[in-house]
Structure 1
Amino acid sequence: MDKFQAFGKNITASISPFAGRTQQYLKEQFGQADDKTQLPPDYIELEKRVDALKQVHQKLLQVTSQYTNEAYDYPPNIRESFNDLGRTITEKVHLLSNASSPSDVQTAFTAPPSAKPQPKTFNHAIARAALAGSQLLNETHSSAGEDPLATALEKYALSEEKVGEARLAQDAQIQSRFLAGWSTTLNTNLMFATRARKGVENSRLSLDATKAKSRSGGGRGMNIDDEMVSMSEDARHDVEQKEDDFVAQTEEAVGVMKNVLDTPEPLRNLADLIAAQLEFHKKAYEILGELAPVIDGLQVEQEVSLPHPLLSLSTPLIF
């Protein structure tokens, strides 16, 4: 029986503070609370800054989380088959170069993937379309030599595949060095700050609930000093304990929020994001920079090889 009574007392002791805070919270919501302990202006300023930092993380993560989706730039209007997503462009070009019959050519395009289906990125899709176009031109090219456009498309396909691979490397780097870091800040550091602020709010509600409970019948409208005088010794002791706890919770929350705001980790993560993007665009520039003069050369060769329209007039005009 004694154990049961002790258990009941523990339950009551744990429920009473929660009930007091809840009652005080409802009074404040309905404008029935006499007074509300005010938080220091510096503390309120820290809360605003932490809330702003949280929104920044949420908004940017909402956008940059697309880097975890391989097909974020894959055209929605195209339809590629399993065979289209088979071997890499490099593998197909190698097989085509060694093809000795139409069946070998067909095999190069329909062979199953050697590892896994090819990525669904915009650059890989361009590469596959360019190589298919190159092969179609070669199949219908009857003149001696190679079709200049077919040659250019094949080279373009190889370059676009390289750009696509560079984009995937960028995405992997962003996931590990930016998204992971910002997610940790949002889900851990900022969560600690939220928890500390919740502790302050609970402590404040408990303090104000204790004050309201300890007021004498004529205590309404008294200033703080008069209220403390009118309280009994036990009531005054309870209020002082709650005030000490409120001060301690506030100081702890201030320290947590300052740590969150002062850490250089978000800025370091942002620098990593920019570095990954810069590396990708640099590689894309280098790849396409090497390709451009080659395509220009093919264009010049084709223009030079074309007969001049005036030279095609074999019979002179006689007036």
Structure 2
Amino acid sequence: MDKFQAFGKNFSASFTPFAARTQQMLKEQLGQAEDKTQLPPDYIELEKRVDALKQVHQKMLQVTSQYSNEPYDYPSNIRESFNDLGRTVGEKVHLLSSATSPAEAQAALTAPPSAKPQPKTFAHAQARAALSSSAILSADHAGPSGSDPLSTALEKFAVAEEKVGEARLAQDAAIQSRFLAGWSTTLNTNIMFATRARKAVENARLNLDATKARAKGGAGFSLPGQQHKTPMEDDAISEEARAEIEQAEDEFVGQTEEAVGVMKNVLDTPEPLRNLADLIAAQLEYHKKAYEILSELAPVVDQLQVEQEASYRKSREGA
């Protein structure tokens, strides 16, 4: 029986503040609250800034989270088979170089996987399509092996595009670890701590106003149109009630000061800007590598084009 009574007291002690806060909130919503403790303007400004920072993180993460999705630029209309994704372009080029017949070349293109399936990125898909096209031209070309300029250019393009695809994957990995992880932590940990601190302030305010209303005899609330109690004057409040109000005020001030510190820490940390710089650096590195790879390829293909046009003009003149 003693244990039951102790449980009842503990439950009542924890439930009563919650019930008082809920009742105060209802009174405010119904417009029956005589006085509502106002938060300092500086505090309200901090809340607005934290809300803005939260919105920024949610908006940016909604877009940049795609870097965690490998095929974000993989065309939806492509239908590649298991064999298409079995080996890297580099491996297939090596196997094709040793093929002595169309059958061996086809076998090289459809060789069983040597590792995990190849990435589904647009660059990798271009590489696989270009290499397959090169092999088709080589198989149908009647001249010496490697003499078809378009086939040669497509093979070189395939190798280059695979390198571009690998650079894109490296970019994505860097962004995941250096940007997404940081911004997710700020949103789900730091800003959440600020949200909890602000909730504690709101609870303390509601508790303070409920305590004041109860001390003045106006704790109850009524439905719209009904009369409610007229609170007593401040000088009629008992000393015990004044002590409860002072204790609630101290709690409110303490929670407010703590929330201010938490919000300032969230707003002042340089981590989000540092993470954004890392995002830009990863993108810059990727585009730099892609530029270097394609810059090396372009003159080779241009030379093949010049040689083919010269051969074409010569054949036309001879005709």
In structure 2, how many angstroms separate the alpha carbons of the residues matched to 1:204 and 1:195? 14
Q: What's the offset of the Cα at 1:303?
A: 1.2
- Unaligned residue ranges in structure 1 (runs of 5+): 314-319
Q: 1:254 aligns with which of 256, 260, 267?
A: 260
Q: TM-score by structure 2 length?
A: 0.93
Confirm whether residue 132 of structure 1 aligns to residue 132 of structure 2: yes
Provide the residue aligned with 1:89 in structure 2.
89
In structure 2, how many angstroms separate the alpha carbons of the residues matched to 1:209 and 1:291? 75
Provide the residue aligned with 1:316 in structure 2.
none
Provide the residue aligned with 1:239 in structure 2.
245
For the Cα contact (< 8 Å) 2:213–2:231, is it kept in 1?
A: no
In structure 2, how many angstroms separate the alpha carbons of the residues matched to 1:310 and 1:304? 10
- Equivalent residues, number: 309
For the Cα contact (< 8 Å) 1:61–1:182, is it kept in 2?
A: yes
In structure 2, how many angstroms separate the alpha carbons of the residues matched to 1:70 and 1:311? 52
Provide the residue aligned with 1:55 in structure 2.
55
Confirm whether residue 285 of structure 1 aligns to residue 291 of structure 2: yes
Provide the residue aligned with 2:164 in structure 1.
163
Q: What's the offset of the Cα at 1:10?
A: 1.2
Q: Secondary structure at the match of 1:117?
A: coil
Deviations 1:198-255 (A, max 9, x none): 0000000000001111005799578xxx52x221001111001000000000000000
Residue pairs, 1:167-316, within 5 angstroms: 167-216=168-217, 220=230, 227=234, 229-308=235-314, 311-312=317-318
Counterpart of 2:29, as a letter, is Q
Moved over 6 A (4+): none
Which sits farther off after the overlay, 242-251 or 24-33?
Answer: 24-33
Deviations 1:165-196 (A, max 9, x none): 00000001100111000000001000100000
Counterpart of 2:177, as a letter, is S
Question: Cα gap change, 1:123/1:183 in structure 2, threshold over 3 Å: closer, same or farther?
Answer: same
For the Cα contact (< 8 Å) 1:83–1:111, is it kept in 2?
A: yes
In structure 2, how many angstroms separate the alpha carbons of the residues matched to 1:310 and 1:131? 30
Provide the residue aligned with 1:118 in structure 2.
118
Which sits farther off after the overlay, 109-118 or 241-250?
Answer: 109-118
In structure 2, how many angstroms separate the alpha carbons of the residues matched to 1:64 and 1:44? 30
Which sits farther off after the overlay, 1-10 or 302-311?
Answer: 302-311
In structure 2, how many angstroms separate the alpha carbons of the residues matched to 1:166 and 1:286? 11
Counterpart of 2:91, as a letter, is E
Q: Secondary structure at the match of 1:71?
A: helix
For the Cα contact (< 8 Å) 1:84–1:110, is it kept in 2?
A: yes
Residue pairs, 1:38-77, within 5 angstroms: 38-77=38-77
Q: What's the offset of the Cα at 1:307?
A: 3.2
- Unaligned residue ranges in structure 2 (runs of 5+): 219-227
Counterpart of 2:180, as a letter, is L
For the Cα contact (< 8 Å) 1:64–1:179, is it kept in 2?
A: yes
For the Cα contact (< 8 Å) 2:127–2:161, is it kept in 1?
A: yes
Counterpart of 1:26, as a letter, is L
Counterpart of 1:90, as a letter, is G
Which sits farther off after the overlay, 253-262 or 97-106?
Answer: 97-106
For the Cα contact (< 8 Å) 1:43–1:254, is it kept in 2?
A: yes
Question: Cα gap change, 1:87/1:71 in structure 2, threshold over 3 Å: closer, same or farther?
Answer: same
- Aligned CA-pair RMSD: 1.7
In structure 2, how many angstroms separate the alpha carbons of the residues matched to 1:308 and 1:272? 54
Q: What's the offset of the Cα at 1:137?
A: 0.7
Q: TM-score by structure 1 length?
A: 0.93
Deviations 1:71-123 (A, max 9, x none): 00000011011111111000000000011223321221111211111100000
Fraction of identical pairs, as percent? 75
In structure 2, how many angstroms separate the alpha carbons of the residues matched to 1:204 and 1:184? 29
In structure 1, how many angstroms separate the alpha carbons of the residues matched to 2:288 and 2:165? 13
